[in-house]
Structure 1
């Protein structure tokens, strides 16, 4: 099988690392997208035919998830017929990007899930380097005061979305610690940088999502280490709240209730069809214009109508079902944490489902793709790592 050969797996591994790390370290978004074409979309397309047997296994093992994703993408494509998007062809191409991104993960994970975990560990370390560079550049080189909200480098320059990327990395890094001593040192230093980035961004939504995800960690991990992490998280949260109380409370609710109320009114105008995929809209609330609804589900409902929102909810619940089936493995436990973090993060700001890969994909399509890698836990294929829990 060509997709399982060493050169193919190296190509695919490079694609995942590029997706995870180059979002911050690539000199420009254009280069980041070009790298994804070269290292992620292209190898998936080239290797797809040789992996047709694996795709059959994917369909058999995760039929509900595959069907829900297909129906969501199909409804999104159909909505282009009434959408006011400037370039319908571009929007359709983005749907293909999503499909190939999701098919990428079963191909990559065919070697072993432990290798996929290791790649995510290295991705977290790379993001830790990006966090350190961001802090040094923003506060040291540019001379911003420490009370200013951190703006990171590359595509993590938005304080909220950048915090979501780093928050996701914190969650998966804490669930998947390495075993080698030298690797543990890099892992710990990276976590410190990621945590500092999260705090300095002052994103309350991201911080709350991380807090709840880590405090709840003993519910599915059920070991002493997860209890220690949960306890340390509570202590850190209390100290952070006391130290940064004025900064935390100064922005109030950031108009989120008012934006949500107006978003519901907008949904009621086109409840069944929505505005169509890629349609331009603005949310007018409290005398201000906002680019989106600051909530993934209401954003989808405005674009794709209530049917589109229900289809996305179906995808998300199917992801949870697949993850829950693998809850006895280390990989499954880490995905439960990432799923919970992503679910909470979606409520506060993320509003981009089918745009080109960006920070929002870390809390939307990345968990879906990783859940599709679980096909190797369920499928009975000789020579495959079915329940890989070592890392």
Structure 2
């Protein structure tokens, strides 16, 4: 099996690390996208035929999830018939990118779930380095006051979307600590850097998502460590609110309720077919124009109508079901945390489901891709998905 050979798995591993880390450290978005073509799309397409058995296995075990994905991608493609986009080919290419990205995970997972967890750990360390560099660059080199919202490097430059990437990394790093003592030191320092970036970005949506995901850990972990993490999170949150209360309330609700109301009204204008994939639109609320709905579900409703919104909801609930069924495993626990964080994060700003790979993918397609890995987690004996020291 060509996809299982060392060179093939190394190629796929590089691709996954590139997706996770280069979003912050790549010199430009163009280079980031070109790297994904070279390290993710190309090897996946080349190795698909040799991995057809694994793909059939994944389809058989998670038929509802894969069928929902196919229906959403199909409905999105069909909506191009009435869409107002000027570049239909670009939108079709983006749908193909999503499909290839999701097919990438079964190929990567067959090398072993511990290896995948280790890659996520390394990705978290890389994002922690980017967080530290961003803090030094923004407050040290550029000299901005500490009360200013942090703008990170690369695609972390958006204070909200960048915080979602860092928040996701923080959640998976806490759920998947390493076993080796030397790596535990690096892991602990990484948590400090990620947490500092999250706090300094002043993104309330990302902070709320991390808070709820960590406080809820005892629901699926049910061990002393999870209760300790939940209690510590509450204590840190209380301290943070006390210290940053003025900054937290200064921006009010950022018109989110007004934008939601206007978004729902726009959905009612085209409830069944939407405006079509890729159609440019603006939301009028409180006398201002907003580029999007600041909410993943309503954005899908505007573009793809209620059918598209229900299909995405179906995918998201399938991910929850897969994570809950595997909650006895380390990987399942981490996916549950990431799912809950992402569910909250996508309510406040993320509004790009079918765009090229970007920050929003960390709270949309990444959890879906990781959910497909659970086929191989459940196929193994209990405890075999413990974190390994090898990569």
TM-score normalised by structure 2 residue count = 0.98
- What is the CA–CA distance in structure 1 between the aligned matches of 2:285 and 2:84, rounded to whole Å? 23
In the TM superposition, 1:139-178 aligns within 5 A as 139-178=139-178
Q: Look up the match of 2:303.
A: 303
What are the Cα deviations for residues 292-320 of structure 1, in whole angstroms up to 9, with x where unaligned? 10100000000000000000000000111
What are the Cα deviations for residues 74-123 of structure 1, in whole angstroms up to 9, with x where unaligned? 00000001001110000000000000000000100101101100000000
8 Å Cα contact 1:151/1:201 also seen in 2: yes
8 Å Cα contact 1:72/1:308 also seen in 2: yes
Q: Is 1:114 aligned to 2:114, yes or no? A: yes
Cα shift at 1:387: 4.8
Q: Name the SS for the 1:300 alignment partner.
A: helix
Q: Look up the match of 2:386.
A: 389
Q: State the 4+ residue runs in structure 1 displaced beyond 3 angstroms.
A: 384-387
Cα shift at 1:322: 1.2
- What is the CA–CA distance in structure 2 between the aligned matches of 1:79 and 1:127, rounded to whole Å? 36
- What is the CA–CA distance in structure 1 between the aligned matches of 2:135 and 2:261, rounded to whole Å? 36
8 Å Cα contact 1:40/1:104 also seen in 2: yes
CA RMSD of aligned residues (A): 1.2
8 Å Cα contact 1:159/1:203 also seen in 2: yes
Q: Look up the match of 1:209.
A: 209
- Structure 1, unaligned runs of 5 or more: none
Q: Look up the match of 1:5.
A: 5
What are the Cα deviations for residues 221-275 of structure 1, in whole angstroms up to 9, with x where unaligned? 1111111111110010000000000000000000000000000110000000000
Q: Look up the match of 1:102.
A: 102
8 Å Cα contact 2:21/2:126 also seen in 1: yes
Number of corresponding residues: 388
Q: Is 1:262 aligned to 2:262, yes or no? A: yes
8 Å Cα contact 1:295/1:350 also seen in 2: yes
What are the Cα deviations for residues 6-33 of structure 1, in whole angstroms up to 9, with x where unaligned? 0000000000000000000000000000
Q: Name the SS for the 2:81 alignment partner.
A: coil
- What is the CA–CA distance in structure 1 between the aligned matches of 2:123 and 2:339, rounded to whole Å? 18
8 Å Cα contact 1:76/1:304 also seen in 2: yes
- What is the CA–CA distance in structure 1 between the aligned matches of 2:214 and 2:343, rounded to whole Å? 14
In the TM superposition, 1:72-111 aligns within 5 A as 72-111=72-111
- What is the CA–CA distance in structure 2 between the aligned matches of 1:271 and 1:156, rounded to whole Å? 34
Q: Name the SS for the 1:244 alignment partner.
A: helix
Cα shift at 1:215: 0.5
Cα shift at 1:390: 3.0
- What is the CA–CA distance in structure 2 between the aligned matches of 1:158 and 1:348, rounded to whole Å? 14
Q: Is 1:352 aligned to 2:379, yes or no? A: no
Q: Name the SS for the 1:66 alignment partner.
A: helix
- What is the CA–CA distance in structure 1 between the aligned matches of 2:242 and 2:377, rounded to whole Å? 44
8 Å Cα contact 1:376/1:386 also seen in 2: no
Cα shift at 1:386: 9.1
What are the Cα deviations for residues 26-80 of structure 1, in whole angstroms up to 9, with x where unaligned? 0000000000000000000000000000011011110000100000000000000
Q: Name the SS for the 2:289 alignment partner.
A: strand
In the TM superposition, 1:40-59 aligns within 5 A as 40-59=40-59
What are the Cα deviations for residues 152-175 of structure 1, in whole angstroms up to 9, with x where unaligned? 000010000000000000000000
Cα shift at 1:385: 9.9
8 Å Cα contact 1:275/1:305 also seen in 2: yes
TM-score normalised by structure 1 residue count = 0.98
- What is the CA–CA distance in structure 2 between the aligned matches of 1:190 and 1:86, rounded to whole Å? 43
Q: Name the SS for the 2:305 alignment partner.
A: helix
Cα shift at 1:377: 2.5
- Structure 2, unaligned runs of 5 or more: none
**369-378 or 104-113, larger mean C-alpha shift:** 369-378
8 Å Cα contact 2:163/2:201 also seen in 1: yes
8 Å Cα contact 1:94/1:354 also seen in 2: yes
